[in-house]
Structure 1
Amino acid sequence: MRHLTLFLGTFFLLQAGIINGIAMVVDGTPVTLMEIEKLSAQAGISQSQAQYELAKQALTVRLAKEHQVDISESEIDLYIDGIMRQNNLTKEQLKQQLKLQGTTYPKFVEQIKNQQLYQRLVQALTYSKLSTPTDEEKRAFFAQNSADFATPQSIDVIEYHSPNQASLQSIAKSPLFAPADVTQEHKTLTLNSINPQLAQLLLSTPVSSYTAVLPLGAQTYGMFYIAQLGAVETPNYETIEPKLEAIMQNKQRNMIMKTLFEDALRKANIDYLRVEPLQF
């Protein structure tokens, strides 16, 4: 009877894969083609990389249990409350925004839980393994990676505002057709004089692309089009030195976690239904 139950479970899972587009099953957790395609589009990565990231996500819960890492529902609630305060959103406004983005509040909560669980797992597994770089090591790292620290001093943007989030989203899809409730203004923003989070968002958005729609409070939304980057400047060692320890330790942290997850993926039971096997 046990073998029959296992057979039927596998049969129905495979049938679900045919019907719902399950791409692979990682230790019992299904990953769909739609999830792979959506992450690929949102993050600007290849579908094979999206497949790898979703497989890692599926393993996070198991690894957290193995290493006795957990996060409570109340901690998740507090984190989401912080997101709402930072963006001047009520819970209903957040739900509405998520709906416009094609997702739901429960899925958002699950995503936040996975992200926070992963961060806690990273801290638990890497804290004792990180080394403090010497001044000589920091200077060598800066010399080898100086181009990575070069940033534009200003960015030419078109700034859009509207009381309707959907209106801004329609511009991103069809720039030639601006709804009547949208205002726009061409600006040159000096990066060291604006909010650091906004500066990071602008720098991470490719030229000739739009940022995500941002809630500005009082039923107002904003969005930026990146028109052109200004002159690029590379800071000297003394300017960047206070940040180097954190940057170098973050690289160490990423390498430790990469090795851990690749080892876990090799040992995982993965059924590939509609995708090629992971390569790493």
Structure 2
Amino acid sequence: MKIILLTLFFLSIHAATIDGIAIMVKDQPITLYEITKAMEENNIPQEQAVELLERKKLEEIEIKERHISVSKQEVFDDIQKMAEQNNMSVIELYQAIQSAQGLSEKKLKEKIKEKILNQKLYNAIAFANLEQPTDEEIKEYYQLHKEEFQKPSSYNVIIYECADKGHLQEKIDNPMFYAPDVSSEERTFEAAKMNPRLAELLDTTPLNGFTQVLPSPKGGFMSFYLKEKGEVNAPDMEAIKPQISNAIMGQKRETILKDYFDRQRLNAEIKVIRLPRN
């Protein structure tokens, strides 16, 4: 009995250490576990993880103080818009997110709500200070970041489809795997005419590599094997002027927000109690 009690005592101390409070931000806690998790998930050193979590905590406090809220309808509208952009129904989108990222419908809604809350907060802070970029700024940004706007003219792919997700994943993991129920079709997509979401997906897929498994519009599942990309071209500046303007506005917005929350961190009551051991 003594051994059991001692074991439980040490386990309780260990649990308290894992979940113990590391930092207090305006009476709101950041735990040792949150810092360790942020370091692992973002692959960043402790100092950056602490800064990240302190800013997140300040954002949460700011949202409460400004009485910013998000309705269930706003969350659903955002999800519906996301589904339409991917040519899916809302149910298909839930299934795709669950398959690709392991997020349940409830978790997805929580993440969407957090995103909209932050957008409202950022707009409240930055909107009054944002100025539209001038033509000179747009021209300068385009010249300095031209490679960011370069896109392949086409994508040559093999589309693999299967009703059984497991069989399709086996085919992806081992192309020599014999799976008669996995069909394939070679296609070439012209960048100017294809779905922008698919173009983004293929842009991040290495040559001779597969995309993640996705729900197929025909039912079942699909994956794209990227064989070849067409010639990379820089589009005419006038054709992508709104894109360039959005990129500049995004940079300005981030600068304003960083300055704002840096000042908040300096002025806020932040108490460091202890940090995880490296």
How far residue 232 of structure 1 moved from its aligned partner, in angstroms, is 1.0
Partner of 1:74: 73
Give the aligned CA root-mean-square deviation in angstroms. 3.8
Paired position in structure 1 for 2:239: 239
Q: Deviations over 1:166-220 (max 9, x none)?
A: 4444444444436443222333322112112211222233444433332233533
SS state at 2:69 partner: coil
- 1:28 aligned partner, one-letter code: P
Structure 2 residue aligned with 1:122:
122
User: For residues 203 and 162 of structure 1, what CA distance do their matches in structure 2 show?
Assistant: 23
Check 1:205–1:125 CA distance in 2 against 1; reply closer, same or farther (3 A cut): farther
Output the amino acid matched with 1:90: I
CA distance in 1, matches of 2:56, 2:114: 7
2:61 match:
62
Contact 2:161 2:183 survives alignment (8 Å): yes
1:25 Cα deviation from its structure 2 partner:
6.4
Deviates more, 1:53-62 or 1:221-230: 53-62
Give the TM-score normalised by structure 1: 0.72
Equivalents in 2 of 1:269, 1:204: separation in Å? 41
> After the TM superposition, which of the residue ranges 213-222 and 81-90 deviates more from structure 2?
81-90
CA distance in 2, matches of 1:125, 1:262: 13
**Larger Rg over CA atoms:** 2
1:226 aligns with 2:226: yes
User: Superposition pairs for residues 108-257 of structure 1, below 5 Å?
Assistant: 108-177=108-177, 179-257=179-257
Q: Distance in 2 between matches of 1:67 and 1:99?
A: 37
What amino acid does structure 1 have at the position aligned with 2:105? Y
Structure 1 runs (4+) deviating above 6 angstroms are 22-26
Offset from partner CA, 1:33-57 (integer Å, 9 cap, x none): 56654x44xxxxx344994796255
Report the more deviating stretch, 75-84 or 242-251. Answer: 75-84
Q: Match of 1:3? A: none
Structure 1 pair 58/237, CA: closer, same or farther in 2 (3 Å)?
same
1:113 positional shift:
1.4
Q: Quote the residue 2:106 is aligned against.
A: 106
Q: Name the residue aligned to 1:88.
A: 89
Identity over the aligned pairs, expressed in percent? Answer: 26
Matched to 1:108, the amino acid is L
Unpaired runs of 5+ residues, structure 1, are 1-11, 41-45
Q: Decide whether aligned partners of structure 1 residues 97 and 240 sit closer, same or farther in structure 2, where only a CA change above 3 A counts.
A: closer
Greater Cα offset, 204-213 or 240-249: 204-213
**Aligned-pair CA distance for 1:147:** 2.2
**Is the 8 Å Cα contact of residues 157 and 187 (structure 1) preserved in structure 2?**
yes
Q: Is the 8 A contact 1:23 1:275 kept in 2?
A: no
Gaps of 5+ in 2: 1-11
Work out whether residues 36 and 54 of structure 1, in 8 Å CA contact, stay in contact via their aligned partners in 2.
no
